[in-house]
Structure 1
Amino acid sequence: MLERLQQLFHDLVSRAPSGQAPCIQHYAEDSPASQTPSVDTPNRTSDDHVSSGHLPTEASSSVPCIKLGDINRQTSYPTASGGLGDVYKCTWNRGESSDEVAVKYPRFPSLSDSDIFIINKNFDRETRIWAKLKHQYVLPLHGTVEQFGPFRAFVSPWMPNGTLESYLEHAHETLSMIDRLRLLKQIAEGLQYLHDHNVIHGDLTNGNVLVAADGSPRLADFGISNIMVQSNPAFSYHTGAVRWVAPELVDPPEDQPIQCATKSTDIYALGGIMLQVLHGKQPYWWLKSAIHVISAKFKRTEPIDSSVEIEPNHLDFMRRCWSTESELRPSVEEVINYLQEALSNETSSA
């Protein structure tokens, strides 16, 4: 077993051969027929989505290219760094006004000029998808900026509360259960919007949910991470991310050696978000290394242990999200309905 785990871990952090990158996450778009078809498509029409979001027309979905001279870094060094790149806090000068923005620059290992060209073409495709997404709980894309390096950097609104993880660390004592349930419902509504438009997030973690000044969430990094994974499978399991990954993506069935992310694997990750928001614990918090987490997933060990007291109804629902049988996991609509009911119960008893 140990040898198998070590080999798997080695495979995850090794560069995939050309044309054999694992399908960890996928976007359904109006792309050429050569693209992988979407998976886990819900029985809904394209018009069936939350009222607070919509897809703009094709004419309004182009990605603005922002001039490098209009972006001023506020610090010489990245404000934040993660498995997918570096984030700089910048000022975007827009003539008579200026905005604080986050500029995210993807970080790759050494690549050839041809690799860089292909990756930039893939970025063009994914940013076109991102630019179409308009929802209050999905991070918007202002545009891209070149000459930060060999790759395009992504310009989006600055989120003063940082990631969900950092927000919960400093707001842990002040958030009521009502606040936590409302935050979770907002995250689920953002995910519902993505799913309703056949976008699989594929990398939903506490670091890819950002928090705005008013405490509301913004889902992020569903486009950048897709390209990173295609370039190098190690990015699918960057530090900490393996805790949120559905077990079938780590240990796929023998007859399906390449397993794509689906709406169901997003729900598995959402169960981990629920655990952290409600009870302040990451999945498998008692395990310190990625290889031990992978081992637990091989054994189909739950992401919780008995050291934390969890309200029975919440625990039962999270366990549905973590079901090892993906078809038994709830839809995002069921998650929202559950959270709405829990929120109503908390409000009436307050």
Structure 2
Amino acid sequence: QRLRREIYIWKRLVHPNVHQLCGLYETLGPLPALVSEWHERGDIKQYLDTWTRLLTPVQILDVAQGLEYCESILHGREIVHGDIKGANVLISNDGVARLSDFGFSVLLANYSQSLTQTSNIHGTYRWMAPELVLEEGARHSYASDIWAFGCLIIEVYSGQVPYHTRRNHLQVVTALARSEPPPLPSALPAFLMAIVLECCTFVVEERPAASYIVACIPPKAVLSRISFMVR
């Protein structure tokens, strides 16, 4: 019941940069299937591979605005995304980026944990904040989402996963243990580089709020005139 109650909280989230949940389908198994709008252009990686190789920072601002909205609405509920990465950023037919699966990965993983008694840390490790990997008992937080947002910017502008020179999980963990930040792509605009450096700090308390990130990004009228060839 708690799982369904929290899922219905997400169903009420309405924002241009958040992929909205339309409903649930509950006859396929113990967990409900999520019903949402189809995005023909796919996630942001598929969009860049298939539709265009020119990227503007507008989509980055879209994601930041979606994150800011969810943080403001869900403040105090202890519900976070938990798996921010390119595969969870969908592109609409008019090129708007929407943050998808906001919170579902953690909600469903924690529900599964109650059945299996496995670890409570879930996510894609190359985007995961160091405290989630290195500290016993650490939980997903707004601060860990901000780290992942910085890694998303790196992923989009480099065309590679964060810590792409590290071949496996152990090498990524070693880099995190040595406080080595993910390498920055050379194509990264200066203002986004500054944001990534603030997002991907190992000092959790120093990571910015999503509202601060949005304030640091120029307006869309300016961003739309800036484009970069990716990959």
Do the two structures share a fold, i.e. TM-score over 0.5?
yes
The normalised TM-score by structure 2 is 0.83
Matching residue of 2:222: 344
Q: Distance in 1 between matches of 2:15 and 2:224?
A: 27
Q: In the superposition, relative to structure 1, how do residues 288 and 347 fare at CA in structure 2: closer, same or farther (>3 Å)?
A: same
How far apart are 1:203 and its partner, in Å?
Answer: 1.5
Which residue in the other structure is 2:90 paired with?
A: 210
Show the counterpart of 2:176.
297
Q: Would the aligned equivalents of 2:198 and 2:207 in 1 still touch at CA under 8 Å?
A: yes
Q: Map Cα deviations across residues 201-222 of structure 1 (whole Å, 9 max, x no partner).
A: 1221112222222221221223
Letter of the 2:209 partner, please give it.
S
CA drift at 1:244: 0.8
2:203 equivalent to 1:325: yes
Partner of 2:100: 220
Residues in 2 aligned to 1:185 and 1:309: alpha-carbon distance in whole angstroms = 17
Alignment equivalent of 1:201, drawn from 61, 81, 89: 81
Q: d(CA) in 2 for partners of 1:152 and 1:212?
A: 25
Cross-structure match for 2:167: 288
Contact 1:168 1:280 (C-alpha < 8 Å) held by counterparts: no
Structure 1 residue 346, shift from structure 2 partner: 7.4
Structure 1 stretch displaced more, 212-221 or 133-142: 212-221
**Per-residue deviation, residues 2-30 of structure 1 (Å, max 9, x unmatched):** xxxxxxxxxxxxxxxxxxxxxxxxxxxxx
What letter is aligned with 1:125?
R
Alpha-carbon offset, residue 190 of structure 1: 0.3
Relative distance call for 1:313 and 1:151 in structure 2 (3 A) is: closer
Task: Give the aligned partner of residue 249 of structure 1.
Answer: 132
1:314 maps to 2:192 = yes
Cα contact 1:244–1:283 (8 A) shared by 2: yes
Offset, 1:191: 0.3
The one-letter code of the counterpart of 1:201 is H
Offset, 1:235: 8.3
Distance 1:313 1:342, change over 3 A: farther
Q: Please tell me whether Structure 1 or Structure 2 has the larger radius of gyration of its CA atoms.
A: 1
Tell me how far 1:287 sits from its aligned partner.
Answer: 1.9
| Partner residue, 1:188 | 64
Cα offset for 1:281? 3.0
Q: Distance in 1 between matches of 2:154 and 2:30?
A: 39
Whole-Å separation in 2 of the counterparts to 1:313 and 1:342? 14
For structure 1, the 5+ residue unaligned runs are 1-120
- After superposition, the Cα gap between the structure-2 partners of 1:276 and 1:131, relative to the gap in structure 1 and judged at 3 Å, is same
Q: Percent identity over the alignment?
A: 28
State the alpha-carbon separation in 1 of the partners of residues 94 and 171 from structure 2: 37
Return the structure number with greater strand share: 1
Q: Moved runs in structure 1, 4+ residues, more than 6 A?
A: none
User: 1:245, 1:319 → 2: CA distance?
Assistant: 15
- Spell out, residue by residue over 1:52-75, the C-alpha distance to the aligned partner (whole angstroms, 9 max, x if none): xxxxxxxxxxxxxxxxxxxxxxxx
Higher normalized helix content (fraction of residues): 2
TM-score scaled to structure 1, two decimals? 0.56
| Contact 1:225–1:235 (Cα < 8 Å) also in 2 | no
CA contact (8 A) 1:271 1:322 kept: yes
Contact 1:182 1:343 in 2 (8 A): no
Structure 2 CA distance for aligned equivalents of residues 192 and 320 of structure 1 = 16
State the AA in 2 paired with 1:296. Answer: A
Deviation at 1:143, TM superposition (A): 1.0
Quote how far apart the aligned CAs of 1:144 are.
0.9
Post-superposition offset of 1:268: 0.7
Rounded to whole Å, the distance in 2 between the matches of 1:284 and 1:323 is 15
For residues 50-61 of structure 1, the aligned pairs below 5 Å read none
What secondary structure sits across from 1:168 in the alignment? Answer: helix
Q: 1:103-182 maps to which residues of 2 (within 5 A)?
A: 121-171=1-51, 173=53, 175-176=54-55, 180-182=56-58
